[in-house]
């Protein structure tokens, strides 16, 4: 089979514009019934090339399995939750979905356990840390699709002009951010602090977990804690002492990373796709990637994994779904898909293939010790939404304790 590689600029998950798509939806007969040899696949867009990548996968799969067809629907991350909620409520759930949180669907008995829709060989290839974050109790419901860890990107020129080294602790980060801002360069700022709605939960996790705090676990969400309060207070201190860009509470990560790429931000937490973006947009940028600064300088990274999941619906597509998953996770197909999108593989074989890539080494090395969101907790979706709508108030002067109390309350409400 022939598989084309379509390279493109990739942006962080959960921050892409809605695309005008030819495959814009499933027929009314799909989802909770229909042809057992037809699979409905609902996915979000990670990049301008996402649809073409999936179409490439589907073409190869259908060539090897001519009796099975795959119907593709691509949505923006902004729309994905509403789309799948409407489908599930209408009894028209997709057969396979690519998304983030899955625990709520599992709690409602809507998903196949992974053991029922994959071969032993496919399951054995997933890295253990991702299996744990894809499971509810002892049952794995999510198939880890993409991995992403964070690291601090620093503009070497700006750090040199400010006379500072790459920071390893919060105090050093504060000092470096203030020193860069003090240069007085036009539209140039120290630390990029994105507390806007796009990924406020990620920036918060970097600070909370880096200060010894927590988001909780599968049993209980824990936001309002002394450790998290200390981190939230320091985040506000970064703004108050002029170490960040203006209006941090309303700034999203994707446009702020673009400002870094342009050379006007000294330091920002970045993702694996950020490397490709720099190569595409400003290959002459003098930058380095260093570990995330933490309260005491101890190494830490935030791990993020999106998943594939299979809805049971009428239970008549289990064999077709299994064949699709086993095909997709073969190294030839999967590694091409995940690296073209600019992310890291969640499989052992994929990690081995990319182990010698110097651009990805810092991210791959961090994955085994990465900490993850508690996305197996059914209340995580509500918590995630609360961060996105509320934590930006830290940059607007609201009392950090009040912010954490409000987020905790929204999380507890579910």
Q: What digits encode the pLDDT tens for the residues 121-131?
A: 999 999 887 89
Q: What is the mean predicted confidence (pLDDT) over 340-359?
A: 88
Q: What is the pLDDT of residue 397?
A: 97
Q: What is the pLDDT of residues 83-136, one digit of tens each?
A: 998 999 999 999 999 987 788 899 899 999 999 999 999 999 998 878 988 898
Question: Among 178-187, 216-225, 370-379, where is mean pLDDT lowest?
Answer: 370-379
- Rounded Cα distance, 26 and 56, in Å: 19
Residue 319: is its pLDDT beyond 70?
yes
Cα–Cα distance list, 38 to 50, 96, 98, 128 (Å) = 21, 11, 17, 31
What contacts 275, CB < 8 A, 6 or more positions away? 289, 342, 359, 360
Q: Which pLDDT value is given to residue 130? A: 85
Measured between alpha carbons, how far is 226 from 398 in angstroms, rounded to an integer? Answer: 17
pLDDT at 137: 87
Whether the predicted pLDDT of 276 surpasses 60:
yes
- Angle of CA points 326, 129, 97, to nearest 5°: 45
The pLDDT of residue 387:
96
**Cα(100)–Cα(120) distance, rounded to whole angstroms?**
24
Q: How far apart are CA 325 and CA 336, in angstroms?
A: 15
The pLDDT of residue 299 is 84
Rounded Cα gap, residues 2 and 279, in angstroms: 27
Instruction: Work out the number of other CB atoms within 10 angstroms of the CB of residue 232.
Output: 25
Q: Is the pLDDT of residue 369 over 90?
A: no
How high is the pLDDT of residue 11?
A: 29
pLDDT (0 to 100) of residue 365? 78
Q: What is the pLDDT of residue 35?
A: 66
DSSP lists the bridge partners of residue 189 as 265
This prediction's pTM: 0.76
pLDDT tens digits along 2-58? 332 222 222 233 333 333 333 445 544 444 455 678 999 999 998 889 999 999 999
Q: What is the pLDDT of residues 159-209, one digit of tens each?
A: 999 999 999 999 999 999 999 999 999 999 999 999 999 889 999 999 999
Task: Give percent of the chain with pLDDT exceeding 70.
Answer: 91
pLDDT at 16: 33
Residue 304's pLDDT band (boundaries 50, 70, 90)?
Answer: confident
CA-to-CA distance for 374 and 208, rounded, in angstroms?
Answer: 13
Other CB atoms within 10 A of residue 218 CB: 17
Amino acid 34: pLDDT: 57
Cβ 395 vs Cβ 208: under 8 Å: no
Whole-number Å distance between alpha carbons of 42 and 31: 10
């Amino acid at each position: 089979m022939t598989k084309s590689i379509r390279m493109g600029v990739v942006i962080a998950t959960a921050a892409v514009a809605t695309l005008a798509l030819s495959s814009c939806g499933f027929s009314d007969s799909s989802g909770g019934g229909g042809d057992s040899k037809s699979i409905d696949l609902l996915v979000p867009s990670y990049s301008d090339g996402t649809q073409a990548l999936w179409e490439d996968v589907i073409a190869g799969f259908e060539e090897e399995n001519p009796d099975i067809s795959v119907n593709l629907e691509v949505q923006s991350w902004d729309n994905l939750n509403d789309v799948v909620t409407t489908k599930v409520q209408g009894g028209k759930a997709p057969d396979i979905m690519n998304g983030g949180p899955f625990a709520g669907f599992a709690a409602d008995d809507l998903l196949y356990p992974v053991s029922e829709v994959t071969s032993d060989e496919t399951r054995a290839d997933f890295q253990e840390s991702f299996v744990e974050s894809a499971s509810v109790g002892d049952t794995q419901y999510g198939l880890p699709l993409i991995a992403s860890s964070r690291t601090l990107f620093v503009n070497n020129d700006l750090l040199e002009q400010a006379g500072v080294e790459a920071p390893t602790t919060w105090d050093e980060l504060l000092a470096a951010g203030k020193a860069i801002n003090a240069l007085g360069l036009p539209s140039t700022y120290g630390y990029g602090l994105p507390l806007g709605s796009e990924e406020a939960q990620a920036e918060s996790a970097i600070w909370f977990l880096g200060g010894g705090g927590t988001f909780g676990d599968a049993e209980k969400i824990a936001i309002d804690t002394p450790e998290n309060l200390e981190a939230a207070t320091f985040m506000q201190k970064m703004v108050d002492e002029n170490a960040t860009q203006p209006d941090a509470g309303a700034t999203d990560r994707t446009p702020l990373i673009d400002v870094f790429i342009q050379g006007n931000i000294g330091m920002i937490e970045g993702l694996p796709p950020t490397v490709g973006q720099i190569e595409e947009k400003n290959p002459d940028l003098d930058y380095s990637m260093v570990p995330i600064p933490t309260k005491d300088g101890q190494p830490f990274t935030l791990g993020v994994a999106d998943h594939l999941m299979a809805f049971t619906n009428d239970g008549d597509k289990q064999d077709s779904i299994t064949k699709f998953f086993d095909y997709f996770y073969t190294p030839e197909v999967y590694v091409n898909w995940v690296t073209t999108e600019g992310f890291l593989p969640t499989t052992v074989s994929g990690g081995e293939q990319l182990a010698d890539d110097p651009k990805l080494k810092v991210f791959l090395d961090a994955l085994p010790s990465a900490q993850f969101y508690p996305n197996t907790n059914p209340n995580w979706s509500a918590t995630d939404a609360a961060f996105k709508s509320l934590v930006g108030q830290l940059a607007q002067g609201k009392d950090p304790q009040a912010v954490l109390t409000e987020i905790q309350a929204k999380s507890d409400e579910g």
